[in-house]
Amino acid sequence: MTLELDEAHRLLAEGDAPGAVRTLRPAAETAPLSELAAVVERAATIIGFDDLAAAAHGAVSAPEDPVALFHFGSECGERGLSFLAVPVLRTALGYAPGAPAVLTELAYALECEYRHGEAVDLLAEHDSALRPWPHRYLLVFNAVLAGDIARAREQFSRLPEPEDAQWQPAYERVRDMLRRAEIAAGATALDQQDLRGWHFVLTGGYLATLSPYGFTAGMVGRWAYTQDSVERIGQTLDRLALVLAATDRHPRTVALLPGRDDRIVGLAAADLLGIPAVPYTPESTDTLVVAYDLRTLDETLEPTLRERADGRILYEHATCWTTPPLLNADISGFLHQTNVEPWGESLRIGDNGPETTPPDERPEAEIAAEIRRADGTPDPGDGDAPPDPDDVFTSFVAATRGAWPTGPRFAIRSPGPVRSSYFH
């Protein structure tokens, strides 16, 4: 038994089922599947995930049965345990070579683990048996996410438009990605450090600023944990104005979403642009919709923003890249894993050690005015990141404006070809 399995059993004895399952990640590819399944069965029973517990029990009882392994792997994927689904489904595929359902689930599990190159290789190995939908689509999609545009284009040429209407949005998504990649390639490097270029290719949106910390130490322009500031909001709003100017967009209003955070940033944006701020309605057109963090968006409003209505531009100041919102913005201020808003409750080091500061409950307009007064000069960072001057940013926007903003606002749940360090 491995150290990880020993630790998992210790945590199970203490009743810490989630901790026990997390402990399995380093051992998932090497530990015996029957032992992994036994831990998952116990953990799922403690938590009350009866379907997962039953599937894990089936794998323990019949570790060479591809059907039992398929059900266990599928349940792992359903519960967000794709790191376990991968070895289970790979074993199932070994017992049932080329089985379409197993191939689909395994490719998707690899995709969820950001192992896009492996998903591409897996599907390419079974080329003659691939069905257009979903297999060849998954090959194209993961090739883009792996940064292999040449292979994605070649495979897309072999992907027919779907007869089933439910696949039409997926077809249009990869088509639009490849179009954006073609346009962006003439304006930027599209290499493994080109976060802004790939953000545009994958989401169709512009990334306003890059983190100036830890660029070559694993972050490559993204933030891990960060405390936001009115100065940073001022900087991202300045970049928002540059996008509008470079794309010749002239919204008549700023549409205020109902959240307090959204309204604060929306009021500051309206003042900067010199246009009225009005409440958001689903009928709003020729407007700039401003969000602080789209993950807090009222679920009833999300469908009204998915399609790009005439003249409606969606801006999000703080975009989480590890648990992204249900739809991507046309312009994102910065990418983070964990962020604390400037007016929220925060932790600081005081004279007597760590202490919590209360939230700023001043009126929204007062905080918005402070944002407008703040110095939006970019943070110089640690000196490790490449420069990101306004003129380079504006040149990229101007060169790619023909493909912005187009298509529905799909969420992308992958960092794509540019990887950053993050906490599980």
pLDDT tens for 61-89 read 999 999 999 999 999 999 999 999 999 99
List C-alpha distances in Å: 63 to 86, 104, 330: 15, 20, 47
**Side-by-side strand order, sheet with 287-291:** 206-207, 331-336, 312-320, 287-291, 253-256, 277-279
- Quick one: average pLDDT of 334-362? 86
pLDDT of residue 51: 97
Whole-number Cα distances in Å, 403 to 178, 278, 330: 11, 28, 11
Of 183, 181, 185, 106, whose CA–CA distance to 144 is shortest? 181
Does domain 189-403 fall under CATH 3.40.50.1980? My reply is no
Give CATH for domain 3-181.
1.25.40.10
Token pair, residue 300, equals 């009833």
Per cent of the chain over pLDDT 90 is 90
**Dihedral pair phi/psi, residue 45, rounded to 5°:** -65, -40
Can you give the pLDDT at residue 1?
Answer: 61
In the predicted model, is pLDDT for residue 368 greater than 90?
Answer: yes
pLDDT at 277: 98
Q: How far is the C-alpha of 243 from the C-alpha of 260, rounded, in Å? A: 25
**Amino acid making up residue 24:** L
Residue range 17-42: mean pLDDT, rounded: 95
Query: CB within 8 A of 107, min separation 6: which ones?
Result: 119, 122, 123, 135, 138, 139, 142
Nearest to 408 by CA among 115, 174, 79, 114: 174
Model confidence pLDDT, tens digit, residues 224-277: 999 999 999 999 999 999 999 999 999 999 999 999 999 999 999 999 999 999
Contact predicate 169/163, CB 8 Å? no
pLDDT of 416 strictly over 80: yes
Res 423: pLDDT: 81
Domain assignments of the chain as residue spans, ordered by start: 3-181, 189-403
Concatenated DSSP letters for 320-350? ESSS--SS--SEEEEEESEEE-TTS-EEEEE
The DSSP annotation for 217-280 comes to IIITT--SEEE--HHHHHHHHHHHHHHHHHTT---SEEEEPSSHHHHHHHHHHHHHHT--EEE-
Alpha-carbon gap, residue 315 to 372, rounded angstroms: 17
Per DSSP, what are the bridge partners of residue 207?
332
- Strand, coil or helix: what is 317? strand
pLDDT at 248: 96
Torsion of CA 201, 207, 209, 214, to 10 degrees: -50
pLDDT of residue 350: 66
Average pLDDT of the segment spanning 206-219: 97
Average pLDDT over residues 8-17: 95
Radius of gyration of the chain (CA): 24
Which residue type is seen at 38? Answer: A
Residue 210 has pLDDT above 70, yes or no: yes
Residue 81's CB: how many other CB atoms inside 10 A?
24
pLDDT of 178 reads 97
pTM: 0.95
Report the C-alpha gap between 404 and 390 in whole angstroms.
19
Residue 309 has pLDDT above 80, yes or no: no
Which residues lie across from 335 on neighbouring strands? 319
Q: What value does the mean pLDDT of the chain take?
A: 95
Distance (Å, whole) CA 285 – CA 66: 53
202, 412 Cβ separation under 8 angstroms = yes
Where b means 16+ CB within 10 Å and e means fewer, 97-123 reads eebeebbbbbbbbbbbbbbbbbbbebb
pLDDT (mean) for 174-194? 97
**70's tokens:** 């398929």
Q: Which of 266, 408, 391 is nearest to 329 (CA)?
A: 408
| Side-chain-facing half-sphere of 80: CA atoms under 13 Å | 8
pLDDT at residue 351 above 90? Answer: no
Lowest-confidence region among 111-125, 294-308, 312-326: 294-308
